[in-house]
Amino acid sequence: MSRLLFLSFFLLSVHAFGQTGTIKGKVTTSDGKSAEFVNISVGKTNLRAVADETGEYTIHKVPAGTYVLVASFTGLVPQNSTVTVKTGETSLINFILAEDNQQLQEVVVLGKSQLVDKKTEYVARMPLKNIENPQVYNVVGKALIKEQMMTDVKEVFRAAPGVVPAEYVTGSFAVVFRGFTNYDYARNGLATSVYRSGTEIANLERIELIKGPSGTLFGSQVSTFGGAMNLVTKKPYADFGGEVSYSMGSFDLSRATIDINSPLNKDKTVLFRLNAVQHQQNSSNEYGKNKRYVIDPSLSYQASDRLSFLFDFEYFKSSATRLPFTLLFADEVPFKSAKDIPIGFKKSFFQNDLLSDAEAIKYFGQAKYQLSKNWTSTTGVSHVNEFLNHSYQPYINWINADTAVTSIRHFGPRERTYANVQQNFNGNFNTGSFHHNVLIGASYEYNDETLTSQEVPLDKINIHQPFEKAGLSRVNSILANPSTAASYDAYGGSSLGVYVSDVINWTDRLSTMLSLRFDRFEQRYEGGFVQPSFSPKLGIVYQLVKDRVSVFGNFMNGFQNQGPVEQPNGTLFKPKPVFANQLEGGIKAELPGNKLGGSISYYHIGIDNALRTDDAQYSFQDGKQVSQGVEVELTASPISGLNIITGYGYNENKFIKADVYEGKFATQAPKHIVNYWFSYHLPFQHLKSIGIGFGGNYVSDSYLNSSNTYSIPAYHVINATVFYQKEKWKLGFKLNNITDVAYWDFVGNPQFSRNFIVNFSFRF
């Protein structure tokens, strides 16, 4: 009898198990684009799926019956649809999200695609996939910026592989990658040089780090031999929405941001977006204050189905202390390392009232016109005006291990104008069975600067004896003295570049890139001179797995214009532009479902005509320098909710032929750079609003002086974050520098000790 009951139960179970069907469909946005990472759940069951990169989903083995199907996404109102599942049949249920694709991107917090999305038209100045590009570039997106609760532009660059940022006494930031320092950047592909004010991240969509000498497409005004930086700003989108956010934390941090977007007409052809921020924070050092605010409105206008315009304006104003510049660049200095400086990590020779006032007004415009089915014209204009009324820049010169000589260099008024006009034509066509993506472009850049400066000598201080910190009243009294000399200077020049690039697809897997630029640089001051130069670029890509894995190689060229040099005998030496040539090879991968991606590459950058000076101070152009290394980037999302971003850069930048520094390493160029970040959005029903993150940066030691006798110590900084997020709001907490490491940037500036940030944001 028991066997009969067991057999009956088994047959009923099998029959019930077999009474299942399938639900499948596609999720799109109101603008017709695929919506990935949307969660689809079957009501009152544990069955669910996540839409893939094409927006499609499938749920198997759904018991026959009627259910409410729910499509949900963090930050969006869930959408429901009733479905009846029949045995052995497939039910098709599609969802259309009310928001457009841009709005969907705005609310992604932990979506893998947004943490590492490399779609860009700026890097190659044409629509080219990362897997098709024979050049390495890294992207740090807005989602990662928010997840790590970044408040400063230097933090953004720390999240990129092989990159180290620093801040200079002028107030600008700089970045080292591949052994070279870059002070300038492009904004939305346009050269946007900012030296004296600063850069705010509230309006950033992402940054793009374009590795290797990039003079061919970006010119010498933006790129260095290490590469180029491009800052991409937020753009208006087709629906009303926005976010307000407030952060508070250590050292009197107070930061408020607002982001509002709205269409201005019924047809949504005129779109408006406003970003603004107010930020203030003191330093963990006893000297240091920073207060700034930025307002950044942007407007887009779709004049016709072929013509569109984009306008962007930014007003930046800050009142901040400038970081003291420690002068330890001589061959013989009294210390071996920054940690040996006896004043200590948090002490200062200066008072906090030595504030510098900086102001910048930036205009940007773009017109895009579809000339034909295959050709597009893009015209861009960038104009930046920086103004300093007063800028007090402190200097410290250690004459021995116990004695420092302090001074202030005062700038003001100081005004700088930088403009860039750019015209690009993009097209694609076939010659026989070969496909061409072509870029033809021209760029004109202009800069002019006038300044008044005064040197203010202060004190000779024995640090073992009491001393008085120098403050504003004392410095201004010296400046007001008629005997204090003032100098008036002017700088300026222009550059005209013409470039062409052709990406030829020989097969659906094999392509080459052939590029060439002609550049004419003119300097109007300091004797004036004109320098022409040619810059080529060659690349090859073969896709081992179509659209997933490719091997690549490139030859890239960069150049730096050089002015005339007066020799000790009074003659004038006119050097040629310094050229750097890079050979690089590697592999890129972007696996299905964005589960794994990244790149590995080896590069060799050679400079054969570097400038050098002999013992008699005569200049020659026969120096040789080699920067070579390996870069690795790995991004992964192995399970739902888990994101991994890691990077490693090894670089050896050495002078192989020089006068007195042969065999020495280049300054401010650490050999090992590591970045890593792990974040996890808990998938459990009652904990699904909770997320955690953990990561850090390791930077090996580097040299500050050319003789390699004074070093910046290695450091490893660890940070962590936890947040609670609902559909409309988010509360986050972050602890920076958990182990309270005392560390310096590559210029020698002390960095923040352990500190915390609490952030609350609300979406509407």
| 607 pLDDT tier (thresholds 50, 70, 90) | very high
Q: Which whole number is the average pLDDT over 105-125?
A: 64
CB count, 10 Å around CB of 45? Answer: 12
Lowest average pLDDT, out of 344-348, 614-618, 695-699, goes to: 614-618
Lowest average pLDDT, out of 278-282, 434-438, 570-574, goes to: 570-574
Lowest average pLDDT, out of 15-29, 64-78, 95-109, goes to: 95-109
When the pLDDT of each residue in the chain is averaged and rounded to a whole number, the result is 88
Q: What percent of the chain has pLDDT over 90?
A: 64
20 within 8 A of 89, measured Cβ to Cβ: no
How many residues in total does the chain contain? 764
Q: Write down the pLDDT at residue 2.
A: 45
pLDDT of 176 > 90? The answer is yes
The 8-class DSSP code of residue 135 comes to S
| 614 pLDDT tier (thresholds 50, 70, 90) | low
Which among 95, 175, 322, 212 is positioned nearest to 673, based on CA atoms?
175
Buried b (16+ CB within 10 A) or exposed e, 641-672: eebbbbbbbbbebbbebbeebeebbbbbbbbb
pLDDT of 5 > 60? The answer is no
2-106: CATH superfamily: Immunoglobulins (2.60.40.10)
Lowest average pLDDT, out of 16-30, 48-62, 149-163, 600-614, goes to: 16-30
pLDDT in tens, 445-462: 999 999 999 999 999 999
pLDDT of 565 > 90? The answer is no
Lowest average pLDDT, out of 463-472, 567-576, 581-590, goes to: 567-576
Q: What percent of the chain has pLDDT over 70?
A: 92
d(CA 311, CA 301): 9
Q: Which whole number is the average pLDDT over 734-756?
A: 95
CA end-to-end distance (rounded Å), the chain: 66
pLDDT in tens, 418-440: 999 999 999 999 999 999 999 99
Quickly name the fold that domain 116-233 has: Ferric Hydroxamate Uptake Protein; Chain A, domain 1 (2.170.130)
CB count, 10 Å around CB of 493? Answer: 21
705 within 8 A of 136, measured Cβ to Cβ: no
Q: Write down the pLDDT at residue 112.
A: 39
Question: For the whole model, what pTM was predicted?
Answer: 0.84
User: Which has more confidence, 464 or 683?
Assistant: 464
Q: Write down the pLDDT at residue 140.
A: 95
Q: List phi, psi (to 5°) of 139.
A: -130, 135
Q: Write down the pLDDT at residue 593.
A: 65
Lowest average pLDDT, out of 31-35, 195-199, 370-374, 544-548, goes to: 31-35
| 10 pLDDT tier (thresholds 50, 70, 90) | very low
168 within 8 A of 391, measured Cβ to Cβ: no
711 within 8 A of 337, measured Cβ to Cβ: yes
pLDDT of 578 > 90? The answer is no
Q: Which whole number is the average pLDDT over 249-260?
A: 97
Question: What are the counts of helices (DSSP H) followed by strands (DSSP E) for the chain?
Answer: 7, 43
User: Which has more confidence, 211 or 79?
Assistant: 211
pLDDT of 55 > 70? The answer is yes
Q: Write down the pLDDT at residue 584.
A: 97
pLDDT of 570 > 80? The answer is no
Q: Write down the pLDDT at residue 30.
A: 60
- Quick one: tokens of 390? 């007063």
| DSSP state letters, 399-440 | EETTEEEEEEEEEEEEEEEEEEEEEEEEEEEEETTEEEEEEE
* Pair type for strands 20-29 and 90-92: parallel
| Measured CA distances, 100 to 76, 483, 564, 708 (Å) | 12, 65, 55, 55
Helix extents (H) in 500-576:
none
pLDDT in tens, 502-536: 999 999 999 999 999 999 999 887 677 888 989 99
pLDDT of 162 > 90? The answer is yes
For residue 154, the surrounding DSSP H or E stretch is: helix 153-158
Strand partners, 639: none
Lowest average pLDDT, out of 212-216, 300-304, 525-529, goes to: 525-529
| DSSP state letters, 366-405 | EEEEE-SSSEEEEEEEEEEEEEEEEEEEEEEEEEETTEEE
Enumerate the domain spans of the chain. 2-106, 116-233, 241-339+374-486+496-763
Q: Write down the pLDDT at residue 31.
A: 56
Strand partners, 320: 290, 356
Strand partners, 366: 310, 380
Q: Write down the pLDDT at residue 660.
A: 80
Which amino acid type is present at position 101? N
pLDDT of 637 > 60? The answer is yes
| 65 pLDDT tier (thresholds 50, 70, 90) | confident
Assigned architecture for domain 241-339+374-486+496-763: Beta Barrel (2.40)
Q: Write down the pLDDT at residue 508.
A: 93
pLDDT of 752 > 80? The answer is yes
CB count, 10 Å around CB of 189? Answer: 26
